[in-house]
Amino acid sequence: MNDQNIKRVVIAGGGTSGWMAGAILSQQLGKVLDITLVESEDIATVGVGESTVPPMRALNRLLGLDEQEFMRETAATFKLAIWFENWRKIGERYIHPFGTNGQPTWACDFHHYWLHSLKLGLDSGLGDYCLEWVAADKGRFETSPQSDINFAYHVDAALYARFLRKLAEKNGLKRIEGKIRSVDQNATTGYIESLTLESGQAVEGDLFLDCTGFRGLLIEQALNTGFEDWTHWLLNDTAIALQTENVAPVQPYTSAIAHEAGWRWNIPLQHRTGNGWVFSSRHMSVDEATSRLLAAVDGKPTRDPWTVKIRTGRRRKVWNKNCIALGLSSGFVEPLESTSIHMIMSTAIRLMHFFPHSGIDQSVVDRFNAEARQEIESIRDFIILHYNTTERDDTAYWRYCKNMEIPDTLKSRIELFKSSAYAFQETRELFRIDSWTHVMLGQGMMPRDYHPAARSIPDEQLLTYLNKFKDTIAQRVTAMPTHQEFLDRYCPANRDVWGVLKV
């Protein structure tokens, strides 16, 4: 296919991955491509990816979305941070915010100056110098077109897919209802030529996007691409999901609360709360996990809990022949840092950059796969960091995490930070220097030394500056409304969509 123009794109599967890919491609290339999405209403989607990271805001701008409309239609809330409890030790907590710490200089990052201030006797936390950290801690939020606050969203996954579907179909995407019976390949090249549905209809295409979830109907079952398993680093293989009524004002953060065999999430939406119990089935049964989750939640369940089996790892090729995997079919780290929707977005945007209009060239495919691998492996390392740097030894699960061999890429990062407080972000990495710094410090890693530039400022001048910076942030946050008050004013959930404005 290196000389065949790509004009027909077929997306296998809907859900968040299928409709996100469809929305991006149809909005950007709908005038030059014939885009078809095949999905069956009889096949349930995972539907628990409800927490996002800040780059989603860039996607919304790319798609020309109005933020208030988007939030009303998906009952969305704002997200400033992730709140971690019981990860380093039982009873301890820390916040991973989305904002910038203080004011860095050309010589070194801000946290070096903060570390030096501790030596001078200043009693403050690094988060005191981050607007998003303080706002999350106080449950406050406000934004405007002029605001510099950095945030993401909590969204209802099912309604987000529905919202994107309307956008994609408006831009010319065609949807076909039906289950895929077979993936039809060229006998010589192995390239996919069509999908045959149970109705007998054949859906032909030049390029196929696999959005069929963990089963990887095209990328794996048809093309035998192979899978690199990461369960020796990331033990959790099961999640119990549960939706409950809201019983308190919603907070602008996701909660990740560790337990003896994993962790549980709490994701506040306008009309309900998403809850989940993530665990290793080698260390806890489904029955026990379900019982523990039901006992832990505050609100009344709005539906029965359901079980999701997960497998951590990556597809050896995201792009194989004329098939590109998106979402769960391409790989999965785990939901801890809310990266699933981001990975769908980044893969779809990468496809935009590398789109093979004049035919599939192997050099393009190789570069695409190399970038995809770098991205998911850096996310993998960031997630492993939370587990391996624990001080917990109360269960076999945590003892394994604490003592396991970790990737060399992560090992060198940890040693670098421990020795000199140096943190970095590679070109294609999602998580910034501030993210690595907050999690490493939150997990108890106190560097042995820091950059000498932090000692070059007179002590009194440094302390005066830090106190003023801290007070300025505190004053800004005090002037903000609560998160709930801002939601009620800015983007109340659409009653026509939900049936109720708020439960």
Mark out the alpha helices in 30-156 (DSSP H runs): 56-62, 67-74, 110-119, 131-138
Residue 308 bridge partners (DSSP): 239
In three-state secondary structure terms, 231 is coil
Range of the domain at 168: 8-50+156-231+312-360
Residue 489 lies in a domain: no
Residue 86 lies in a domain: no
Residue 81 lies in a domain: no
One domain, residues 192 and 329: yes
- Token digits of residue 6: 């790509």
Q: Name the E strands within 227-354.
A: 227-229, 238-244, 253-259, 262-268, 273-279, 306-309, 313-315, 319-320, 323-325, 331-332
> Tell me: the pLDDT tens digits for 443-472?
999 999 999 999 999 999 999 999 999 999
One domain, residues 318 and 223: yes
The dihedral through the CA atoms of 402, 379, 308, 369 has a sign that is negative
In three-state secondary structure terms, 492 is coil
One domain, residues 161 and 188: yes
Residue 342 lies in a domain: yes
One domain, residues 412 and 283: no
Residue 491 lies in a domain: no
Q: How many domains does the chain have?
A: 3
One domain, residues 160 and 137: no
Q: Name the E strands within 155-287.
A: 174-177, 180-185, 192-197, 202-204, 207-210, 227-229, 238-244, 253-259, 262-268, 273-279
Say which of 79, 317, 321, 502 is annotated catalytic.
79
Residue 387 lies in a domain: yes
Residue 448 lies in a domain: yes
Across the chain, mean pLDDT equals: 94
C-alpha 415/C-alpha 422 separation (Å) is: 9
Residue 192 lies in a domain: yes
For the sheet with 174-177, list strands across it: 174-177, 34-39, 8-12, 207-210, 323-325, 319-320
One domain, residues 214 and 322: yes
Please compute the mean of the pLDDT values over residues 336-343 and round it to a whole number. Answer: 94
Q: What is the pLDDT of residue 501?
A: 37
> Tell me: the pLDDT tens digits for 109-147?
999 999 999 999 999 999 999 999 999 999 999 999 999
Residue 301 bridge partners (DSSP): 244
One domain, residues 318 and 284: no
CATH number at residue 340: 3.50.50.60
Whether 179 is catalytic:
no
Which one, of 423, 463, 488, lies nearest residue 116 by Cα?
463
One domain, residues 160 and 284: no
pTM of the model: 0.95
How sure is the predictor about 49, in pLDDT bands with cuts at 50, 70 and 90?
low
One domain, residues 296 and 438: no
One domain, residues 304 and 316: no
Q: What is the pLDDT of residue 421?
A: 97
One domain, residues 320 and 213: yes
